[in-house]
Chain A
Amino acid sequence: MKASLKAEWLKLLTTRTFYGLTVSAAVLTAFIGLGLVAQEPPPWHLTTEQFGALGGTNAIILGLFCLIVGLRSFTEEYRYGTIVHTAFADPDHTRTGLAKAVVCAGGAAALSAVSVMLTGLALYAMTLFSGGSFEATGVIAPALGLVVGGMLWAVIGVGLGAIIRQPVPTMITGLLWVLVIENVAAPFIGPIARYLPSQTAQVIARGLGESSDVSLAAGVMVAWAAALLMIGWTTLRRRDLM
């Protein structure tokens, strides 16, 4: 397992894509944060409630970036044929699947943490220059929520990538799911909609550990991630690799 983890870390860190995604996510979430706050006239006073709302909005953006980190871990391997080498060392695919999930979750945590920190610093500077106030303790819960949500999105991505394999269809499916399908489906499925991944990610990002809703949402999202990873692993074992 240690060998697979090391290999997966190297895979993540030896191309520029992960760094590009991290920088893009950080810049985008910081601008979104600044933009949302700047809708009100200065001076700006950022409270726990506003951080929660900001976390909910950025949960989707960061979630997409983390989902892409996860999706790419299998699809890139199929695209360039490196899956043969990976499967050769672990024909059972168990260690590979777990290692990819752990490493992508770790990568997503780092990506989310960088985004959260940059957004936090930008907002702090903004409020300081406007003569407003910054309730620093209110940042912690949404920040943790964004990191945990990002990690789970990455694991969902790993599972989805293992199921679909092809980079473009996998990416389209992931984006459609988060941006379109959940929104279209929500009015038709009523209260069940709150158990969909995007909804749960938003609940988590509004403030982890603050209410039983957050714990339930985290549990549901873990279940989504575990289910997709399991389906992906089963698919890998059953299908021909080439």
Chain B
Amino acid sequence: MIDNRQKRIGRKTYEHMPRQDRLRTESNHQIGAVNDMTTTIEHPVASDLVTQPAISVDQLTKRYGDRNVVDTLSFSIPRGVVTGFLGPNGSGKTTTIRMIFGLIHATSGTALVDGRPFATLPDPAGQAGILIDGAGAHPKRSAHNHLRIIAAERSVASARVDEVLDIVGLAGDAQRRVGPYSLGMRQRLDLATALLAEPQLLVLDEPANGLDPAGILWLRTFLRSFAAMGGSVFVSSHQLAELSLLADEIVVINHGRLVTHTGVGQLISAGHIQVRTAQVDDLTSALKQAGASVQPVSNDRIEVREIPIEQVGSIAAAVGAVLYELTPSANTLEEAFLELTNTKGEKS
């Protein structure tokens, strides 16, 4: 697919297009083509920064009164990947993001962007774009004027305003005041704001809020292509199914502390094996002896973890258990998340 695109717009032209134009071209295509782009497009990050994580958080703590909202949190976000940021409501995600960008001060610990505190970067707004709850636009200004102001603040050419409005699909509404915008349109405007200075890092807090299914698909495609072209994405979302399609890695926090930082594949593959048999007791004993973790589900059904499915079958044969069902069941990201944060049944 990438070859076809290159043929259409000419390979040389394509390689010399501004990065965001290439992104715009890409975001109109499906995800399948996007991964190929890493091999054809030059990595845009300066060579001295390639070894640095995009974001590095070390022992970060924020205390309000007696309560640690973020508690000695440490993790690193690598370049060129989409990293999901998960946690129940009130787990400290937004506070962490705000601390990374100096919007609130950490009680202790450090948060670095490209190896330096955000405030000390030579061009902070050019290195990262954020979409964060609480940031907004004056309702009496048009989207175009809102972006013109931010472009001026960031020393970005005003022509770029029209480009980002086009990228996020707001070009037709650019001259309208922001006040009556729908939630989805505001999200698109915030995303346009984040993209304005062509940053290498996007940090998005609940970016899919208010987007319709087409908008969510567009966002997913866009972020995948952004990462495929060397950009780093750190995205917090409660739409776990969406995140499982989008993210390469997941950072899970709860009560302000790190629960896990792992690949999405690892997280959702750590599932269980559903076994249905009439000889539940015999099979359970044999499986436990083999080191499996066994959880009874009903009179004739158990869930088995920590041994492979082939071994379960062999053990069942060895004890003469007749199997009515032997099914591998991968965790969904939602199940893994609920299990990790112990929030099954809680409102999140």
Residues of A at under 8 Å CB distance from B? Answer: 3-4, 6-7, 10-11, 14-17, 76, 80-82, 84-92, 240-242
* Cα distance A47–B173 in the bound complex, in angstroms: 56
B124 touches A91 (CB 8 A): yes
A89 touches B135 (CB 8 A): no
- Does B246 touch A at the CB level, under 8 Å? no
Interface residues as binary, B86-111 with A (CB distance below 8 Å gives 1, 0 otherwise): 00000000000010011111000000
Residues of the B chain whose Cβ atoms lie less than 8 Å from the Cβ of A84:
103, 130, 132, 134-136
Residues of the B chain whose Cβ atoms lie less than 8 Å from the Cβ of A86:
153
Chain B proximity of A45: nearest CB distance (Å):
46
Residues of the B chain whose Cβ atoms lie less than 8 Å from the Cβ of A76:
138
- Does B174 touch A at the CB level, under 8 Å? no
For chain B, which range describes its interface: under 10, 10 to 19, 20 to 34, or 35 or more residues?
20 to 34
B103 touches A87 (CB 8 A): yes
Chain A proximity of B326: nearest CB distance (Å):
52
Residues of B at under 8 Å CB distance from A? Answer: 98, 101-105, 118-119, 124-125, 130, 132, 134-142, 145-146, 148-150, 152-155, 193
Contact of B135 among A6, A82, A92 (CB under 8 A): A82
* Cα distance A60–B247 in the bound complex, in angstroms: 59
Chain B proximity of A13: nearest CB distance (Å):
9
A-B contacts, 5 of them at CB < 8 A, read: A4-B153, A80-B138, A84-B134, A88-B130, A240-B105
Chain B residue at minimum C-beta to C-beta distance from A83:
B135
* Cα distance A76–B136 in the bound complex, in angstroms: 11
B138 touches A91 (CB 8 A): no
Residues of the A chain whose Cβ atoms lie less than 8 Å from the Cβ of B136:
80-82, 84
Chain A residue at minimum C-beta to C-beta distance from B145:
A14
Chain A residue at minimum C-beta to C-beta distance from B64:
A240
Interface of A is mostly: helix
Residues of the A chain whose Cβ atoms lie less than 8 Å from the Cβ of B154:
3, 89
Residues of the B chain whose Cβ atoms lie less than 8 Å from the Cβ of A90:
153
Residues of the B chain whose Cβ atoms lie less than 8 Å from the Cβ of A17:
140
A14 touches B149 (CB 8 A): yes
Residues of the B chain whose Cβ atoms lie less than 8 Å from the Cβ of A6:
152
Chain B proximity of A166: nearest CB distance (Å):
15
* Cα distance A6–B155 in the bound complex, in angstroms: 10
* Cα distance A76–B139 in the bound complex, in angstroms: 11
Chain A proximity of B207: nearest CB distance (Å):
15
Chain B proximity of A7: nearest CB distance (Å):
4
* Cα distance A87–B130 in the bound complex, in angstroms: 12
A88 touches B152 (CB 8 A): no
Given contacts A82-B149, A89-B154, 19 further A-B contacts (CB under 8 A): A6-B152, A7-B150, A10-B152, A14-B142, A14-B145, A15-B140, A76-B138, A81-B136, A84-B135, A85-B135, A88-B101, A89-B125, A91-B101, A91-B102, A91-B118, A91-B119, A241-B103, A242-B98, A242-B134
Pick the 5 closest A-B CB pairs, nearest first: A81-B136, A91-B119, A84-B135, A240-B104, A7-B152
Chain A residue at minimum C-beta to C-beta distance from B177:
A15
* Cα distance A11–B138 in the bound complex, in angstroms: 9
* Cα distance A241–B119 in the bound complex, in angstroms: 13
* Cα distance A90–B122 in the bound complex, in angstroms: 10
Chain B proximity of A90: nearest CB distance (Å):
7
Given A7-B149, A88-B124, A242-B103, answer yes or no on A16-B140 (Cβ-Cβ < 8 Å).
yes
Chain A residue at minimum C-beta to C-beta distance from B104:
A240
Chain A proximity of B208: nearest CB distance (Å):
19
Interface centre among A6, A86, A89, A90 (most CB of B within 10 A): A89
Residues of the A chain whose Cβ atoms lie less than 8 Å from the Cβ of B130:
84, 88
* Cα distance A92–B121 in the bound complex, in angstroms: 11
Contact of B141 among A15, A85, A87 (CB under 8 A): A15
B137 touches A80 (CB 8 A): yes
* Cα distance A11–B147 in the bound complex, in angstroms: 11
* Cα distance A82–B119 in the bound complex, in angstroms: 18
Chain B proximity of A149: nearest CB distance (Å):
28
* Cα distance A11–B139 in the bound complex, in angstroms: 12
* Cα distance A89–B124 in the bound complex, in angstroms: 6
Chain B proximity of A138: nearest CB distance (Å):
41
Chain A residue at minimum C-beta to C-beta distance from B129:
A88
Chain A proximity of B96: nearest CB distance (Å):
13
Chain A residue at minimum C-beta to C-beta distance from B141:
A14
Chain B residue at minimum C-beta to C-beta distance from A76:
B138
Chain A residue at minimum C-beta to C-beta distance from B125:
A89
* Cα distance A81–B150 in the bound complex, in angstroms: 13
Interface centre among A11, A81, A87, A88 (most CB of B within 10 A): A88
Contact of A80 among B98, B139, B148, B150 (CB under 8 A): B139
A10 touches B140 (CB 8 A): no
Chain A proximity of B62: nearest CB distance (Å):
9
B150 touches A85 (CB 8 A): yes
B125 touches A88 (CB 8 A): yes
Residues of the A chain whose Cβ atoms lie less than 8 Å from the Cβ of B124:
88-89, 91
Residues of the A chain whose Cβ atoms lie less than 8 Å from the Cβ of B146:
82
Chain B proximity of A82: nearest CB distance (Å):
6
